[in-house]
Structure 1
């Protein structure tokens, strides 16, 4: 028996995601929908369906298992697994379900070749190169060895290639973006000279919006799909200003009561009332993915107004100051993300109080049950 303990309600506006995809397609010639990690918490299958209606023909997920889930849902588009192959089961499933894995290690190539050769089959792959992220991918120094390996193993057929930008959202690092683009261009020319003409992608969300030089044959749209502006806080902020957040998160109010002057609230007595005040106890806490680091810093939206968190965020409860907000009552609704009026909470607002990035906000809160519109 599964016990449902979540009290948060996560609403996903699929029309906002479709809107954001159209904006990104204004800049890019072919835009992949990056829907890894349950579409950044927005719903893998539902987001894929929405993007398919906008003409997306390539989806990038995280693991091969996620690719299999997407394929089993009935999606016939091209599916890329960004984390590549981690074991032989991944290799079998990539072949069986027609998944294109990212490959950035010779060990992955050897493992895949062994599985594919034993089955007497072939498989398409995407080559991954490290041009400055220093995370995953073949180095430029391995290029000659890689070309030799691919020519000797025709059962492994590269059709795509990519690299990942490290600083495309930061105006202070435009030169670093340029250096990565130059190195990737060199890699593409070497591959082409060796007979491998591949569909290449380098641009992520910020790259699509800002950097002409990195928009190649294809682009990978991630965080911007979900309405978070990757350029927020920079001189490029307005470029992402048309994006619409797709996630809204709310919960119920469990109690409204008076907190007398001098009384403390929640664990550790980290907040003491300086005057008589009214507090609301909302049903949200770190068990729901609502971080304890929001204690005494975060805010929620109630009746269109901002209410500041007072005291420590608990496992499933959080106290907020509603002294100056009228008509707050038991059973009412508090918005952790979204809401209405001047008190609306943006993804950047919440990430800032949380001292994190919008990606983490979406992924953690998106693990709660979702509804779609």
Structure 2
């Protein structure tokens, strides 16, 4: 394998997480697996295949290129929903292939109707409502225009869903804002229904809302971070665990990011290590050179503060993280040899490097760190 690192994705961990999520939402609520951002860094193709094997039949993506990757991967009937970007040229492809997509502006709504009429295939749209996120969605005068267009093009547009997105359900400080959003969503939904625009599905809940606001489950939930084994925030985790007698985390992380020792180096007391003078050897040291740097997603801000696992023990990053390599201190880890396994993220023996601890040191969110893992790092499915 001609790569300096690789990522293992655990199928059994995913199966565990999906079972837990479905237990929370019940049998009547559709589970949509959110796989934008290269499946939160896990790899769309690899994740989609094991998710489908685990019973998932609905995937949410951000853009048409992600939808195409899912479509090329799935082996059974599957619903694919684009929540964000799709240009007018891609709409015909989406309609022809039965891809569902959000509509949040009139140009897309009119173009979707035109494409459906031209190719003779009714298209399934999800009308996004602006409830307070102030990003995308219909409200006020634009919603009135959308209602008129839905009526005008009813033979070509199927209102598959009404949806919105919460502005921070993972934090209690946003509670009033989230509640106001849900109330506005209900009001706008009722307005549309009174005019005969009745959706097949109503959906607003992300991972955090699924846990913190059960009344938002409605017909479907869009679950991203939790299916990968991570809680949206410490608050969300605390809120759930406070209600449980068993304090064991029910989620399991799918990801293990690994590399190997490229070389070993002895450095004398007082010598500087790597670029500049950020680290001076306090004693005679043995360094392991690891062929991963910031170009591979290992943040430069982890210089002199990060850790990896070697032989089940923690080894500190010393010196500046380079573009393609970093140095770690293995002076107190006996028997380290060239090609020794290095865990950058995940578990080895009884120790683990968590994304949370990784993120705290690099000032990155879980989401940011995971999605920044380069696409060309091989993802390998393991049990």
Q: Same fold (TM over 0.5)?
A: yes
Aligned length: 369
| Counterpart residue number, 1:91 | 91
Aligned equivalents of 2:183, 2:161: Cα separation in 1: 18
Q: Are the equivalent residues in 2 in contact too, given 1:168–1:206 (CA < 8 A)?
A: yes
Q: 1:140 to 1:319 in 2, by over 3 A?
A: farther
| Counterpart residue number, 1:208 | 210
Deviations 1:122-181 (A, max 9, x none): 211111122222222223553222211210112122111211112111122222211111
User: What's the CA shift for 1:242?
Assistant: 1.4
Deviates more, 1:153-162 or 1:234-243: 234-243
| Counterpart residue number, 2:277 | 269
Aligned equivalents of 1:245, 1:366: Cα separation in 2: 19
Q: Are the equivalent residues in 2 in contact too, given 1:264–1:272 (CA < 8 A)?
A: yes
Q: Are the equivalent residues in 2 in contact too, given 1:129–1:140 (CA < 8 A)?
A: no
Aligned equivalents of 2:296, 2:153: Cα separation in 1: 48
Does the residue aligned with 1:56 lie in a helix, a strand or coil? coil
| Counterpart residue number, 1:190 | 191
User: What's the CA shift for 1:342?
Assistant: 4.4
Q: 1:366 to 1:236 in 2, by over 3 A?
A: farther
User: What's the CA shift for 1:54?
Assistant: 3.5
TM-score (normalizing by structure 1): 0.93
Which of 24, 43, 53 aligns to 2:21? It is 24
| Counterpart residue number, 2:41 | 41
| Counterpart residue number, 2:62 | 62
Deviations 1:70-97 (A, max 9, x none): 2233342111011142232x11111111
Aligned equivalents of 1:237, 1:342: Cα separation in 2: 26
Deviates more, 1:48-57 or 1:17-26: 48-57
Gaps of 5+ in 2: 243-247
| Counterpart residue number, 1:176 | 177
Does the residue aligned with 2:68 lie in a helix, a strand or coil? helix
1:69-88 paired onto structure 2 within 5 Å: 69-73=69-73, 74-88=75-89
**Does 1:8 pair with 2:1?**
no
| Counterpart residue number, 2:149 | 149
Deviates more, 1:90-99 or 1:32-41: 32-41
Q: Are the equivalent residues in 2 in contact too, given 1:256–1:330 (CA < 8 A)?
A: yes
| Counterpart residue number, 2:128 | 128
Measured on the aligned residues, the alpha-carbon RMSD in Å equals: 2.0
| Counterpart residue number, 1:260 | 268
Q: 1:317 to 1:241 in 2, by over 3 A?
A: same
Aligned equivalents of 2:44, 2:30: Cα separation in 1: 20
| Counterpart residue number, 2:363 | 355
Q: Are the equivalent residues in 1 in contact too, given 2:110–2:149 (CA < 8 A)?
A: no
Aligned equivalents of 1:323, 1:175: Cα separation in 2: 53
TM-score (normalizing by structure 2): 0.90
Aligned equivalents of 2:46, 2:138: Cα separation in 1: 33
Q: 1:275 to 1:141 in 2, by over 3 A?
A: farther
Deviations 1:209-230 (A, max 9, x none): 2212321111001011111111
User: What's the CA shift for 1:312?
Assistant: 0.8
| Counterpart residue number, 2:118 | 118
Aligned equivalents of 2:47, 2:140: Cα separation in 1: 35
**Does 1:336 pair with 2:331?**
no
Aligned equivalents of 1:62, 1:159: Cα separation in 2: 17
Which of 238, 241, 246 aligns to 1:238? It is 241
Q: Are the equivalent residues in 1 in contact too, given 2:259–2:341 (CA < 8 A)?
A: yes
Aligned equivalents of 1:69, 1:219: Cα separation in 2: 22
Deviates more, 1:267-276 or 1:140-149: 140-149
Aligned equivalents of 1:84, 1:250: Cα separation in 2: 33
User: What's the CA shift for 1:115?
Assistant: 2.5
1:256-335 paired onto structure 2 within 5 Å: 256-335=264-343
**Does 1:251 pair with 2:259?**
yes
